[in-house]
Amino acid sequence: MVNVFPPSVTAISRCFTACNYRPLGSEWQEEPSFELTPKEHDDLHQASREAQLSPSALARKFVLDGLAHWYLERAVQLYVEGKASLSGAAHYAHISVEQMMDELRQRDIAITPSAEDFFDELESLADVFDAPDLREVATELREHSGLWETGDTL
């Protein structure tokens, strides 16, 4: 099977609507629709033959890849603007904190994990290793983290 990389967001949205996409289990008030140009139509069918997928399946793949890319770009933007923590950005992009850190490193963006990120990761480790004591410690640390910022003691 040939790897097919997603086209531009515009082309993705054209594929999306050209295949009469409707959300599973729900309905939109207005279903988007438009036609592909003859060249776009030919490109989609050529790519679908190479990928050994139906045009609809390939268009769905393009849409999902495009959405993942969009969420990642938005998460990076929110992180850079200080509107999302590292773990918040990772959650928004539907990826792990480690993957988010790798993405930021590749873009030469400084990673400054917050106390909240630390507590989130500690709780994740507690879940992974089924360690209720570690989760309890993480919860206590989170509850008392405000004291660290003011210089007070526990």
pLDDT one-digit tens code per residue, 1-40: 343 444 454 555 555 544 555 555 566 566 656 678 999 9
In this prediction the pTM is: 0.60
pLDDT band at residue 119 using 50, 70 and 90 as cut-offs: confident
Q: What angle do CA 79, 81, 85 make, to 5 degrees?
A: 30
Rounded distance between C-alpha atoms, residue 113 and residue 101, angstroms: 10
Domain residue spans in the chain?
A: 9-113, 114-154
Q: What does the pLDDT average to over 99-117?
A: 90
Q: What is the pLDDT of residue 112?
A: 84
